[in-house]
Amino acid sequence: MISSTRRLVVGIAAVAIVVGACGSSATPSPAPATQAPTTAPQSTAPEPSSMAPESSAPAMVNMTAVVIPKQINNPYFDVAFKGVQKAATDIGGTVTQVGPSAADATQQVPFIQTAATQGNDAIIISADDATAVAPALKDAMSSGVKVVGYDSSPAVGAYNVFVNQADTAGIGKGLADMACDVAPSCTGEIAVLSAAQSATNQNAWIAAMETTLKDAKYSGLKYDGVVYGNDDPQVSTQQAQGLLQAHPDLKVIIAPTTVGIVAAAQVVRAAGKTGQVFVTGLGTPMGMVDYVKGGESPEFALWNVTDLGYLAYAVAAKLVSGDITGAEGETFTVPSLNNGQPYTIGADSVVVLGPPFVFNADNIDQYVTEFGF
């Protein structure tokens, strides 16, 4: 039996409990905000410390921030925005979420440009394409706007800090380990159903998984490659169906995307392949509980998405208040996260939320009840 407490192994000294979206036509002028702003009481922030490299959580700050997810009305980003809103209440400031209805970097760019020209202090963004959004983000930074990436990174140099949900190598190893767990005796054909071909985080995780699969431990697994569902339920369903047709002996579909993993599990069930083909990857407890109990997906993983949003906003507040600059080696604390222990900004101005958690039949009910998503 799979242990209910086994966590993905990552080299991060942080503990979290519980991925994202990515498709083409530009929107010339962004629509008004599709979610109501959150405003918290304001007070005068104290002068930032000029001595200690480590800072505590910011006092109440007066800032305006715009969150731009890959896609509006995506359940994953809706949950992350709840964390952002909670942070705004706790820390101070006003935050609004806007963005495209389709996961498309060309549609993100006008929202970035508008946020920068409206006088906002910070932009918090999950990039649909790291390179495509970089020029607009750099322009925003040059005008004094602080840019925080979360979930999926913009290009290095196009943000002040990127808040990574977990260590890339750790996620890659975790995906390989879960495929090995659910494949009979760690043998058989496996394939990946990803989000968009340009999705920064998906590509990095898959590359890390492919490296891990070269280890002798996984020699019984035959890797059939990657297909892309664009984080669209219909496209993901079609791609999962295509995998079953193209690979009759397929044993595992690995979907490191909350949309793709549900679509793959639905396809396996509808095809009558439960117990023959298994699904794993990254998903939400609420989205996957039925398929864990039904046997289509014995285990999957994720991190605390609410905490990811909370940390992204807290980092933005620290940048705006001057507590941090985003330089490698800076440390800071957010009392409600990471058991109050310091976070350290690493290479390329990246800070890691913490390791994801493996869900299975032994523990999933607890987390569906606790997190409700």
Q: What is the CATH number of the domain that holds 175?
A: 3.40.50.2300
**pLDDT of the chain, 373 residues: tens digit per residue:** 333 334 444 333 333 333 443 332 233 334 333 443 443 333 333 333 333 344 444 467 899 999 999 999 888 899 899 999 999 999 999 999 999 999 899 999 999 999 999 999 999 999 999 999 999 999 999 999 999 999 999 999 999 999 999 889 999 999 999 999 999 999 999 999 999 999 988 999 999 999 999 999 999 999 999 999 999 999 999 999 999 999 999 999 999 999 999 999 999 999 999 999 999 999 999 999 999 999 999 999 998 899 999 999 999 999 999 999 999 999 999 999 998 899 999 999 999 998 788 999 999 998 887 666 6
Measured distance CA(73)–CA(139) in Å, rounded: 27
Same domain (yes/no): 161, 309: yes
In a domain, 238, yes or no: yes
In a domain, 334, yes or no: yes
In a domain, 32, yes or no: no
Domain end, chosen from 271, 302, 333, is at: 302
Helices (H) and strands (E) in the chain, counts: 10, 16
Distance of CA 11 to the CA centre of its chain: 18
Smallest CA-to-CA distance from 213 within 200, 222, 203 is with: 222
- The pLDDT, as a whole number, for residue 47 is 34
Same domain (yes/no): 157, 181: no
In a domain, 79, yes or no: yes
∠ CA 54-58-61, rounded to 5°: 150
In a domain, 112, yes or no: yes
In a domain, 360, yes or no: no
- The pLDDT, as a whole number, for residue 370 is 66
Domain count across the chain: 2
Domain that holds residue 263: 168-302
Token output for 23: 């498709």
In a domain, 368, yes or no: no
